[in-house]
Structure 1
Amino acid sequence: MEEAHERLIKIIKLIEEHYGRVKITPNLHLSLHLCDCSNDFGPLYAFWCFSFERMNGILGSLPTSLELLEDRPTTGSISAADQFSSDELERFWLNAKNIQESTITGCEPFPGEMLKPSSEAIMTESMLELMVAFYNASYIEMYKFRKPADEIIQDSITIRVKINQFGRCRIGSEVFGSAMSVQHTKSSYVLAKFITSDEEVNSYSGQIQYFFKHTVDLPNGQMEHNLAYICWYRPASMSESRYYFHIDDEDESYNVKLWKSKFYDESCDCIIPV
């Protein structure tokens, strides 16, 4: 254990020497306590490690790239230290750049799985309205949908009031979190493309509130839908919508679009297929 501890120290010093202090993450710091923990409590697998994971969850819920551009007051000599780390800014910029340049490709079968925490819920009246609007837009010219309490229209499909909510979703090797799972909010922020009414393609930033499954009874059988409920951020005003920064010693200047911390009013656009 002592030998492993000494080698961990050497690795972390090498990381700091070659990549700078900004690359020394909380996990690297916490790894230096593994030797003491093992000496005090025995092999790691033999005692309760949840507190370590809980600390990771708390650290992971700290401000993310969507919040890092909020105004931070700086005064005098401390202003130089009150800067955003270059890796955070680069990640934020690359996310926006990738979504702008990617191609919209239609749809495919859901390739992942929903993960706990999970619960069964009865939709509110407003949520039922949104679901009806979502299904009518999704199955346009194919089916008509209605709430259980609405007037019966010929050949209309009554949607179910129950949904199964989930806090996380796995697609491939990537796990997306949501506001429903407090320990995984860091991975709950997304960028998505929408085709507007004038056929333009715009990107919007939002936070996943929860994932959910909902089943509808179509004429040819039941169809289960894997969906996400997302609140979309309002863009900042024109005067504050651009922020320029440099990455390390590069000469090129980058800019990112800013979003307010307030959401748009809820609409059927808050419901998207996963």
Structure 2
Amino acid sequence: MIYATTSLWEHLPSKDQKILTHFGRVCSILVSRILEIELIEEAHERPIKIIKLIEVHYGRVKITPNLHLSLNLCDCSNDFGPLYAFWYFSFERMNEILGLELLEDRPTTGSSISAADQFSSDKLERFWLNVKNIQESTITGCEPFSGEMLKPSSEAIMTESMLELMVAFYNASYIEMYQFRKPADEIIQDSITIRVKINQFGRCRISSEVFGFAISVRHTKSSCVLAKFIISNGEVDSYPGQIQYFFKHTVDLPNGQMEHNLAYIHWYRPASTSES
């Protein structure tokens, strides 16, 4: 669903971009482990739009039996719950039994166990642009947090090295706006002293994806990330890393408190190369 959009978008005419957007959204809804009732209605309306677009642009001969059958998927979900829970093969059906926990209470149908993605065509296009060229991306280093931190959680005191990292992070994030310092640093006029306490979390949910941390066997695979950065010479490079933990930290700005949702990541060093 992600790579099809990323790989094909610039090669498709606008009519096929619309079809792909509808298709990706339907797949995203129907394979979710939490399936909200209003999303089932959307997942039924979008295949109808797909079929109408195919008929208009490619003729009725392209309307296959499978397209007709897709119009019944939502009825199946209404009757039996998410497709995730009753896929045909036994190893797929086991997904429902593996003990995945409910994330929150909401109007759902069947045995719902994860949140549905909320991607529209403009968000898909923005995602593609961000992947393609982050120099032209609208992301500026921080953005509203649309997910939630998940337990286990605990309160912790930051080490001296962690405090230094946080001061550097805030000074870079609020550049030319505020200046930050550690409690033990020399007092500078109008500087903001950061708090030493953080709230650590073991997991983070963003849309339907749950990301874990390094020391949890269950979530080790979901703790690995690959991030793109613009380096000093203006070029873009990718860095692999592993999430050590998620945490929330609050700073006291002049206009009120600001809570930040962050992740502490161990970045891997580049591998040394040798000539053969």
Query: If the length of structure 2 is used for normalisation, what is the TM-score?
Result: 0.50
Task: Name the CA shift for 1:97/1:3 in 2 (closer, same or farther; >3 Å).
Answer: closer
Provide, for residues 78-107 of structure 1, a one-character-per-residue CA deviation record: whole Å limited to 9, x for no partner.
999999999999999999999999996764
Identity of aligned residues (%): 91
Counterparts in 2 of 1:202 and 1:95: CA distance versus 1, 3 Å: same
Assess, with a 3 A threshold, how the Cα gap between structure 1 residues 78 and 34 changes in structure 2: closer, same or farther.
closer
Bigger mean CA deviation after superposition, 107-116 or 144-153: 107-116
Which deviates the most, 210-219 or 36-45? Answer: 36-45
Give how far 1:181 is off: 2.9
Map Cα deviations across residues 47-93 of structure 1 (whole Å, 9 max, x no partner). Answer: 99999999999999xxxxx9999999999999999999999999999
- The alpha-carbon distance between structure 1 residues 120 and 52, as it changes in their structure 2 partners (threshold 3 A), is farther
Q: Counterparts in 2 of 1:19-34, with a 5 A limit?
A: none
Q: Which residue of 2 aligns with 1:38?
A: 77
Contact 2:85 2:93 in 1 (8 A): no
Deviation at residue 227 of structure 1 after TM alignment: 0.3
Counterparts in 2 of 1:193 and 1:143: CA distance versus 1, 3 Å: same
TM superposition shift of 1:8: 30
Give the distance between the partners of 1:34 and 1:59, measured in 2 at CA. Answer: 24
Task: Pick the structure with more helix per residue.
Answer: 2
**RMSD over aligned Cα atoms:** 13.1
Q: Cα deviations across residues 89-140 of structure 1 (Å, max 9, x unaligned)? A: 9999999999999996764310100011111000011111111111111111
Structure 1 residues 190, 41: CA separation in 2 closer, same or farther (over 3 Å shift)? Answer: closer
* CA shift for structure 1 position 210: 0.3
Change beyond 3 A, Cα 1:33–1:189 = farther
2:202 to 155, 167, 190: 167
After superposition, the Cα gap between the structure-2 partners of 1:16 and 1:239, relative to the gap in structure 1 and judged at 3 Å, is: farther
Which is worse superposed, 66-75 or 117-126? Answer: 66-75
Q: Residues 184 and 37 from structure 1, CA distance in 2 versus in 1: closer, same or farther, beyond 3 angstroms?
A: farther
Contact kept? 2:141, 2:173, Cα under 8 Å: no
Structure ranking higher in strand proportion: 1
Contact preservation (8 Å) 1:168, 1:181: no
- Match of 2:113, SS state, is helix
Superposed displacement of residue 213, structure 1: 0.1
1:198 alignment partner in structure 2: 233
Question: Which protein has greater RCO, CA pairs closer than 8 Å, 6+ apart?
Answer: 1
Q: 1:27 deviation in Å?
A: 29
* CA 1:107–1:48: 2 relative to 1, 3 Å: closer
| SS of residue matched to 1:111 | coil
Distance 1:44 1:73, change over 3 A: closer
Which runs of no fewer than 5 residues in structure 1 stay unpaired? 61-65, 241-274
Q: Is the 8 A contact 2:84 2:96 kept in 1?
A: no
5+ long unaligned stretches in structure 2: 1-39
Residue aligned with 1:130, SS? helix
Secondary structure at 1:182's aligned position in 2? coil
Contact 2:156–2:199 under 8 Å retained in 1: yes
Alpha-carbon deviation of 1:193? Answer: 0.9
Task: Name the SS for the 1:184 alignment partner.
Answer: coil
Counterpart CA distance in 1 for 2:116 and 2:80 is 39
Q: Is the 8 A contact 1:99 1:191 kept in 2?
A: no
